[in-house]
Amino acid sequence: MNTISRKFIDFADIKQRVSLHQCVTMLGLAMKQSGGQFRSACPVHGGGERTLVVTPSKGFYCFGEKKGGDQIALVAHVRQLSNRDAAEAICLHFGLDVLPEQKEQPAKAERPPAPAQAQKGFDPEAYARRLDPAHEKLADLGISSETFKLFGAGFSNGGVNRGRLAIPLHDRQGGFVCYFGRALGSESPTLAFPNGTDTTHIFNAHRIKEGELYLVRDPLAALQAYESGVENVVAFLAPVTAGMLEQLASLMDERRCETVELY
């Protein structure tokens, strides 16, 4: 049996030399293509044929576990390995015997779209600049600081959202509504809104485009899915009412989304 003996494994080099699609083939996943994505049931968590989503240019996402990542994370997920063991498995499979040390350059973060001002005296852009998208308390969420920056979200060190992940809420047209706080532990409530906020708004509705729509139960899960390439994802922010379902149906008609998957 071939063995690889080294003190250091360069994850960035592996990702440059082995594509996500190659890892899908390595794992023997029978996935169906839908546009620029591939979908199947998750071999670990089961579920419907769209539970596991692979976006070759970005990564994978499992709606069963609500986690995603790159090709190394995919192998770790399917084979239930640590990331290091998954990286070694990829090296063994593809014969990568030499892994030079390289520094992966961080991707340039996109500037979040400028939201409309919802109330006099509140500047959402200035508020976003005070948030910390790379705070250590966000490290276990599986979401990069670049994605947090894209959404204008981050850890709040003060104010009404102190100690929480502060996330902006927009209406369907992209107008800024408010910043709300998402608990990072067992704090109650899980979601905290400014007084008077209309919580029937559908989170991330303004980014929805034509195609299949995914509905998750938590805005944090929507961010995690977006991180892994599932961009057509929304979340309700309150117990579901008939009016909210009507809003969802209207959104689907407007953006030409023929089906919705609930996770």
State pTM to two decimals.
0.70
Say whether pLDDT at 7 is over 50.
no
Model confidence at 195: pLDDT above 50: yes
The domain ranges of the chain are 11-94, 124-262
Q: How confident is the model at residue 105 (pLDDT cuts 50, 70, 90)?
A: very low
pLDDT confidence of residue 120 = 54
Q: Indicate if the pLDDT at residue 100 is higher than 80.
A: no
pLDDT value, residue 12 = 83
pLDDT tens-digit readout, 49-86: 889 999 998 899 999 999 899 999 999 999 999 988 99
pLDDT averaged over every residue in the chain? 87
DSSP letters, the chain, are ------S---HHHHHHHS-HHHHHHHHT---EEETTEEEE-BTTTB-STTSEEEETTTEEEETTTTEEESHHHHHHHHHT--HHHHHHHHHHHHT-------PPPPPPPPPPP-PPP-STT--HHHHHHHSBTT-GGGGGGS--HHHHHHHT-EE-SSGGGTTSEEEEEE-TTS-EEEEEEE-SSS-SSSEE--TT--TTSPBTGGG--SS-EEEES-HHHHHHHHHTT--SEEE-SSS--HHHHHHHHHHHHHHT---EEE-
Whether residue 162 has pLDDT greater than 90:
yes
Average pLDDT, stretch 207-224?
A: 95
Q: For domain 11-94, give the CATH number.
A: 3.90.580.10
For residue 205, pLDDT over 50 is answered with: yes
Asked if residue 111 has pLDDT above 70, the reply is no
The confidence score (pLDDT) of residue 230 equals: 93
